[in-house]
Structure 1
Amino acid sequence: MCLAVPLKIVSIAGKHAVGTAAGLSQNIRVDFIPDLKPGDYVMVHAGFAIQKLTKEQAEENFACIQEAIDAL
């Protein structure tokens, strides 16, 4: 099973970025997403940003992840 997670971009340096979610930071690659800036949200799989999200889409994903965690 594959899992992608939403992250908020906090910094970008070339093709590398740092994203955060739930207080955790992750170094990611942003090769596939043009025109990213800090504050944008992306869906990340295997260390690569694969899709840009709106804030609302990211929040919906965060809520779904929390719902799954609460069900455990």
Structure 2
Amino acid sequence: MCLSVPGKVLEITEEDGFKMGNIDFSGITKRICLEYVPDIQVGEYALVHVGFAISKIDEKEAAKTLKLLRELEQMRDESKEDSSP
């Protein structure tokens, strides 16, 4: 099982013959390999796993996934607060 996170493509470049991109993950920008999604364009969303974009997704699906991840983070934080002495 793997976890992939959606991010928005901000910039696409080529480095040493590889298609690379700057991808925004809710305010954090990372350099990601785009070789597995050769048709992706700036402004589109990708699912990213360990530094590689593995598929494209639409903006609606990306927003839905990001919302679920934020909810999980909030539940984790609330759980930590509940277990504090």
TM-score, normalised via structure 2 length: 0.80
The alignment of Structure 1 onto Structure 2 pairs a total of residues equal to 72
Percent same amino acid at aligned positions? 32
- Pick the structure with more helix per residue: 2
Greater C-alpha radius of gyration: 2
Match of 1:27 among 25, 31, 35: 31
| 1:48-69 Cα shifts (integer Å, max 9, x gaps) | 0001000001001101101100
Q: Give the unaligned 5+ runs of structure 1.
A: none
Structure 1 consecutive aligned stretches of length 4 or more whose deviation exceeds 6 Å: none
> How many angstroms does 1:2 deviate by?
3.1
Higher relative contact order (CA 8 A, sep 6+): 1
TM-score, normalised via structure 1 length: 0.93
Work out the CA distance in 1 between the residues paired with 2:31 and 2:38.
Answer: 17
